[in-house]
Amino acid sequence: MKTNNPHGDDAPLDALLQEWKPKPSLPPRFQEQVWRRIERAETAPTPTVTLAQLFAAWLATKLPRPALATAYVAVLLVVGASVGWSQARQETARITTELGARYAQAVDPYQSTP
Amino acid sequence: MRRGLLILALGLVVAALAYCCVYFMGTATPRALMQSAQPELAWLKHEFNLGDAEFTRISQLHAGYLPQCMERCRRIDQLNDTLSNALATTTQVTPEIEKLLSERAQMRASCQTEMLKHFFEVSRTMPPEQGKRYLAWVRENTCLREEAMDHGNDNHATTTTPAHQP
């Protein structure tokens, strides 16, 4: 077998190196410490994410996307226009009724004042 | 984050602008009616699609009718006062009270007749279809539509509490 040894063939050394298995020495009470750390990690409270944080994250990452931003502005445009239209209808009906009552009151003195 | 906030604010501004535009456009007509010199007549013109000539004629009829109407109201008020005084000094129906009641009823009938004449005259000034609509409207919204007779079975009678003895 050809070796990668740049200094030439040194078969005994290669064999020795292949047989070598390092035995690392663990620090004292290693296993116990590992279990303790696992236990601590399991009992530690999971960090809670508040709604404000979620909203801030959404604001920073999701909303600036062109498609979502366009949809968001379009939806608010439609909502604003719809509410305006609905309120305008109510106000128009109120004023029309009021003016009709005023006309009736002007020509008919028997109308009772509300 | 800043871009997100800008988009958020832009959406709110767009919503507010859309609301204002639609609201002010939608209420332009009634606001114009309210700001006219005689809002109730302006309403009549708008409601019954009157042309300028018809509106001028109806305004003249209206202006001619109101002083006569007020004079009749003044006379009815006078009769009411006289009747009230006569009722306060007696415990039975005297010939004077009978006469006053009859006079008041006649005055009311005359008032309603004149009112009806005015309504017919106004309706004739309008285009035929609008005239019909106008008459239907006054029938429903003036004293021409009498309240149903009620002897208190529905417990809706509105009265004032009798005065306490001194």
Largest CA distance in chain B: 92
Are the Cβ atoms of B26 and A95 closer than 8 angstroms? Answer: no
Give phi and psi for B109, each to the nearest 5: -65, -40
CA dist., res. B74 & res. B54, Å (int):
30
Sign of CA dihedral A25, A31, A33, A35: positive
Chain B residues in contact with A81 (beta carbon < 8 A):
18-19, 21-22
Does residue A85 belong to the interface with chain B, where contact is any CB pair within 8 Å?
yes
pLDDT of residue A7: 59
Residues B48 and B126: beta-carbon distance below 8 Å: yes
Q: Of B7, B26, B115, which has the smallest distance from its Cβ to A89's Cβ?
A: B26
All structural domains of chain B, each given as residue ranges with its CATH number in brackets, are 37-141 (1.20.120.1490)
How many A×B Cβ pairs under 8 Å? Answer: 130
Q: What residue has token string 């007509």?
A: B29
pLDDT of residue A6: 60
Share of chain A above pLDDT 90, in %: 42
Give the ipTM: 0.81
Are the Cβ atoms of A63 and B143 closer than 8 angstroms? Answer: no
CA dist., res. B35 & res. A24, Å (int):
97
pTM of the model: 0.69
pLDDT of residue B163: 64
pLDDT of residue A67: 94
Annotated domain spans of chain A = 64-114
Angle at B39 between CA B33 and CA B42, to 5 degrees: 65
Regions of chain A where pLDDT drops below 50? 1-2, 113-114
Regions of chain B where pLDDT drops below 70? 147-148, 153-166
> Which tokens is B53 given?
């000539």
**Alpha-helical regions (H) of chain B:** 2-26, 28-35, 39-47, 52-88, 95-125, 128-141
Residues A96 and B35: beta-carbon distance below 8 Å: no
